[in-house]
A and B are shown apart, each in its own frame.
Chain A
Amino acid sequence: MLSFLLRRLLLLLPVLLLVSIISFSLFYLSPGDPAEVLLTGPQGPPDPKAVEEFRAREGFNDPAPVMYVRWLSKVVRGDLGYSFTSGEKVSDAVFSSFLPTLRLSLISLFISLLISIPMGILSAVRRGSAIDGLGLSLSLLGVSVPNFWLAYLLIILFALRLDILPVAGYGDGGDIEHMILPALTLGISAAAVTGRMMRTSMLEVMEQDYIVAARARGLTERSVVLRHALRNALLPVVTMVGLNFTYLLNGSAVVETVFAWPGIGSLMTRSIYCRDFPVILGCMLFLSLLTISLNLLTDVCYRYCNPRLIHETGS
Chain B
Amino acid sequence: MKQGVDLGFKLAMLTIACLLFLAASATWIAPHDPEKAQPQLRLKDPSYEYPLGTDHLGRCIFSRIVFGIRISLFIGIAVVLFSSLIGMVLGVAAGYFGGVVDETIMRVVDAFLSFPSIFLALAVIGFLGSGIANLMLSLILVDWTGYARLVRSTVLALKGKEFLEAAKSLGASDLYIMSRHILPNILPSLLVMATLSVGYVILGAASLSFLGLGVQPPTPEWGAMMNDARPFLRTHPLVMIFPGIAITTVVLAFNLLGEGIRVQLDPKFRAESSYGYEK
- A positions within 8 Å CB-CB of B: 11, 14-15, 18-19, 21-23, 26-27, 29-31, 126-129, 132-133, 136, 140-141, 143-149, 152-153, 155-156, 160, 246, 249-250, 253-254, 257, 268-269, 271-273, 275, 277, 280, 283-284, 287-288, 291-292
Closest to B254 in A: A144
C-alpha gap A23/B126 in the complex (Å): 12
Residues of B contacting A275 with CB < 8 Å?
126
Once the chains bind, are B213 and A29 in contact (CB under 8 Å)? no
Residues of B contacting A23 with CB < 8 Å?
123
Closest to A157 in B: B237
A30-B127, A128-B277 known; A149-B226 Cβ under 8 A = yes
What's the least CB distance linking B259 to chain A, in Å? 8
Once the chains bind, are A29 and B128 in contact (CB under 8 Å)? yes
Once the chains bind, are B126 and A146 in contact (CB under 8 Å)? no
Residues of B contacting A31 with CB < 8 Å?
128-129
C-alpha gap A144/B256 in the complex (Å): 10
Q: List 24 A-B contacts (CB under 8 A).
A: A18-B111, A30-B129, A128-B1, A128-B279, A132-B1, A144-B203, A144-B248, A146-B251, A149-B248, A152-B233, A153-B244, A249-B116, A249-B119, A269-B122, A269-B211, A272-B125, A280-B123, A280-B126, A280-B127, A283-B119, A284-B119, A284-B123, A291-B113, A292-B114
Interface residue? B34 (CB, 8 A): no
Among candidates A14, A148, A271, A273, residue contacting B207 with C-beta atoms closer than 8 Å: A148
Within 202-251 of B, Cβ neighbours of A (below 8 Å) are at: 203, 206-207, 210-213, 223, 226, 233-234, 237, 240-241, 243-244, 247-248, 251
Residues of A contacting B210 with CB < 8 Å?
146, 148, 254
What's the least CB distance linking B120 to chain A, in Å? 8
A148-B210, A152-B244 known; A253-B233 Cβ under 8 A = no
A22-B112, A254-B210, A291-B115 known; A277-B127 Cβ under 8 A = yes
Residues of B contacting A273 with CB < 8 Å?
212
Interface residue? B252 (CB, 8 A): yes
Among candidates A15, A132, A149, A250, residue contacting B114 with C-beta atoms closer than 8 Å: A15
Once the chains bind, are A253 and B251 in contact (CB under 8 Å)? no
Residues of A contacting B206 with CB < 8 Å?
146
Residues of B contacting A152 with CB < 8 Å?
226, 233, 237, 240, 244
What's the least CB distance linking B112 to chain A, in Å? 7
Residues of A contacting B259 with CB < 8 Å?
140
- B positions within 8 Å CB-CB of A: 1, 4, 107-108, 110-120, 122-129, 199, 203, 206-207, 210-213, 223, 226, 233-234, 237, 240-241, 243-244, 247-248, 251-252, 255-256, 259, 277, 279
Residues of A contacting B223 with CB < 8 Å?
146
C-alpha gap A283/B241 in the complex (Å): 32
Number of residue pairs spanning A and B whose beta carbons lie under 8 angstroms apart: 144
Residues of B contacting A14 with CB < 8 Å?
107
A126-B279, A127-B277 known; A287-B126 Cβ under 8 A = no
Closest to A12 in B: B110
Residues of B contacting A277 with CB < 8 Å?
126-127
Once the chains bind, are B199 and A144 in contact (CB under 8 Å)? yes
10 extra A-B contacts, CB within 8 A, seeds A127-B279, A250-B116, A284-B115: A30-B129, A129-B279, A133-B4, A140-B259, A145-B248, A149-B248, A269-B213, A280-B126, A283-B119, A287-B116
Among candidates B110, B203, B237, B241, residue contacting A160 with C-beta atoms closer than 8 Å: B237
Once the chains bind, are B234 and A288 in contact (CB under 8 Å)? no
Once the chains bind, are A160 and B126 in contact (CB under 8 Å)? no
Among candidates B115, B199, B211, B247, residue contacting A257 with C-beta atoms closer than 8 Å: B211
C-alpha gap A153/B242 in the complex (Å): 11
What's the least CB distance linking A129 to chain B, in Å? 8
Closest to A257 in B: B211
